[in-house]
């Protein structure tokens, strides 16, 4: 058991805030043509401004939608908002489909044809596009078409009080403890919810991919869980040289600042295009904080024009952003209540269990564990590194899940769940450890075999999703509010453009300044 008895007692106290955990979802999905090819059409005008819409924007590509919920105190309410936004989006897509898998499929042989996100004529809009151009120049545009779900999680005031964390400094310290444990144990989420064991041939063009061939158009690894979190995903030699410490806000800030300020020779050699457009924001290892790829990030809402790291240093950690969640192609929204309930339980375990300081050796060990589970997670008798010993994945997973039991019980009591939703969710995860064929990654491989390829399976799911969204009832007042927001976002974009007083060069200098 990883929780102290005193902690378990705290969870049983009345009004401890467990029924008011705060979560929000950011979900990426590619727009594709009816043929499955990546859409080359601009962001649909009916969806408003990708720069300033509160719920609908784009990520790397103009064709990569990002749907954003507000914060919610129940899994059901956050899913309801996510569904409403999906239905609204579908009404403005015409014949286009939402690609329901994390890994893309039919992509152009010429990566330059993958359109960068466009946000208007303002300085901040140009900076967003230049940043994406830089990502493409550094890592290739193919990698940037990978989609996922970001799960934002924070603790309510009542729970902080119950835990005796009354100052922002103590809460920031607790969040970094959560992050350290999460990084040690996040391989468990890859095993339980990874849904990207295969890729289309077009995604690995020109790459030394080391995958097995499933058939003519599909490559995979037979025991893989989430290839997007491994060598084919968000990895780079430049970033692997960064050794980011999560032992405190000061350590995190100091080590991340190195990546944000040190020039990287390979990036220094990237030349502007013939028309003189900026090829990247700068030549540092990281153009800005968002370029650092991790399974989880400490976050603080920034003021207008403020750098994320500056905001963190100013007021401490406000919430964490979990970034290792694949789209589940079997779920219309890519995620369901069962998964949310387990993630809440797991994040509480990470928060409440003792969290030893990390070291360069421990950080290297967790990276090796992640690679193992990404590529071989369902392999029988797979072992992982826990300190200086090797342990069976199944044994370690069972220990972690068993440690979640008092948390799931307390969450059900707090939520007054007659159906024991949190405990039932935990039971389903234990079943996946005992029976790997129940994991989403195993189900994807089985579905690929039934449909003939990764492409055919995912296209089938995309069409099912389209039909589901077209027939899902939604409150007309909600749709009207989203229409109103789309119109208002276009006005806000024009106001931002009209208020610019600096040249782009001067804006960029201020924008990139770290304080």
pLDDT digits (tens, 9 = 90+) for 115-151: 999 999 999 999 999 999 999 999 989 889 999 999 9
221-232, pLDDT tens digit by residue? 999 999 999 988
Mean pLDDT computed over 300-317: 91
pLDDT in tens, 346-372: 999 999 999 999 999 999 999 999 999
Strands (DSSP E) contained in 216-342 are 218-220, 296-299, 319-325
**What is the Cα–Cα distance from 408 to 404, expressed in whole angstroms?**
6
- Residue 334 tokens read as 């890519």
- Both tokens assigned to 506: 């001067």
Structure tokens at 218: 């599909």
- pLDDT tens for 50-87 read 999 999 999 999 999 999 999 999 999 999 999 999 99
Q: How high does pLDDT run on average in the chain?
A: 94
Rounded CA gap, 138 and 269, in Å?
11
Domain span at residue 483 reads: 5-511
* Amino acid 9: pLDDT: 87
Backbone φ and ψ of 370, nearest 5°: -60, -45
Between helices 393-403 and 337-352, what is the axis angle to 10°? 90
Residues sharing a CB contact under 8 Å with residue 481, sequence separation 6 or more, in sequence order: none
Q: Rounded to whole angstroms, how far apart are CA atoms 230 and 214?
A: 19
How many domains does one find in the chain? 1
- Look up the CATH number of the domain holding residue 200: 3.30.590.20
What's this model's pTM, rounded to 2 decimal places? 0.96
Mean pLDDT confidence for 304-329: 94
**Residue 506 pLDDT > 90:** yes
Q: Are 194 and 439 in contact (CB under 8 A)?
A: yes
Q: What is the pLDDT of residues 248-279, one digit of tens each?
A: 999 999 999 999 999 999 999 998 876 779 99
- Over the stretch 6-52, which tens digit does the pLDDT of each residue have? 898 888 888 899 999 999 999 999 999 999 999 999 999 999 999 99
Residues 221/212, Cβ–Cβ less than 8 Å: yes
Q: How far is CA 280 from CA 66, 96, 133, 208, in A?
A: 22, 31, 6, 26
Buried b (16+ CB within 10 A) or exposed e, 74-104: ebeebbbbbbbbbbbbbbbbeebbbbbbbbb
């Amino acid at each position: 058991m990883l929780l102290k008895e005193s902690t378990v007692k705290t969870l049983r106290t009345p009004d401890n805030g467990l029924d008011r955990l705060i979560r929000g979802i950011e979900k990426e999905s590619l727009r594709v043509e009816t043929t499955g090819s990546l859409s080359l059409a601009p962001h649909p005008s009916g969806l408003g401004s990708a720069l300033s819409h509160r719920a609908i924007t784009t990520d790397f590509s103009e064709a990569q939608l990002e749907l954003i919920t507000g914060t919610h105190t129940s899994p059901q309410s956050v899913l309801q908002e996510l569904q409403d936004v999906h239905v609204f989006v579908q009404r403005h897509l015409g014949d286009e489909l939402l690609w329901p898998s994390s890994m893309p499929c039919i992509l152009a042989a010429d990566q330059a044809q993958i359109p960068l996100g466009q946000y208007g004529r303002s300085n901040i809009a140009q900076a967003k596009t230049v940043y994406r151009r830089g990502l493409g120049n550094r890592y290739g545009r193919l990698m940037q078409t990978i989609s996922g779900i970001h799960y934002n999680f924070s603790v309510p005031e009542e729970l902080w009080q119950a835990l005796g964390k009354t100052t922002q400094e103590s809460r920031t310290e607790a969040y970094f403890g959560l992050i350290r444990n999460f990084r040690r144990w996040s391989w468990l989420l890859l095993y339980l919810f990874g849904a990207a064991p295969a890729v289309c041939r077009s995604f690995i063009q020109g790459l030394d991919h080391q995958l097995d061939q499933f058939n003519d158009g599909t490559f995979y690894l037979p025991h893989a869980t989430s290839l997007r979190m491994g060598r084919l995903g968000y990895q780079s030699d430049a970033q692997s040289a960064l050794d980011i410490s999560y032992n405190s806000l000061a350590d995190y800030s100091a080590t991340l600042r190195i990546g944000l300020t040190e020039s990287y020779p390979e990036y220094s050699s990237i030349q502007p295009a013939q028309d003189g457009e900026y090829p990247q924001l700068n030549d540092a290892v990281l153009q800005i904080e968002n370029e650092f790829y991790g399974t989880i990030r400490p976050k603080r809402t920034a003021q207008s024009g403020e750098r994320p790291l500056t905001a963190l240093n100013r007021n401490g950690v406000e919430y964490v952003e979990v970034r290792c969640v694949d789209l589940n192609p079997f779920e219309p929204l890519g995620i369901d209540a069962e998964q949310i309930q387990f993630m809440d339980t797991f994040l509480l375990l990470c928060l409440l269990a003792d969290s030893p300081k990390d070291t360069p050796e421990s950080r290297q060990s967790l990276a090796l564990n992640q690679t193992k589970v990404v590529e071989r997670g369902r392999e029988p008798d797979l072992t992982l590194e826990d300190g200086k010993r090797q342990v069976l994945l199944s044994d370690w997973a069972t220990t972690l899940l068993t440690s979640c039991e008092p948390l799931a019980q307390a969450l059900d009591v707090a939520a007054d769940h007659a159906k024991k939703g949190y405990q039932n969710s935990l039971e389903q995860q234990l079943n996946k450890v005992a029976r790997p064929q129940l994991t989403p990654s195993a189900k994807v491989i089985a579905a690929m075999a039934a449909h003939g390829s990764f492409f055919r399976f995912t296209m089938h799911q995309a069409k099912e999703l389209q039909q589901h969204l077209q027939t899902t009832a939604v409150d007309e007042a909600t749709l009207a509010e989203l229409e109103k927001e789309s119109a208002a976002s276009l006005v806000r974009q024009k106001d931002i453009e009209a208020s610019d007083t600096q040249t782009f060069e001067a804006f960029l200098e201020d924008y990139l300044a770290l304080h």
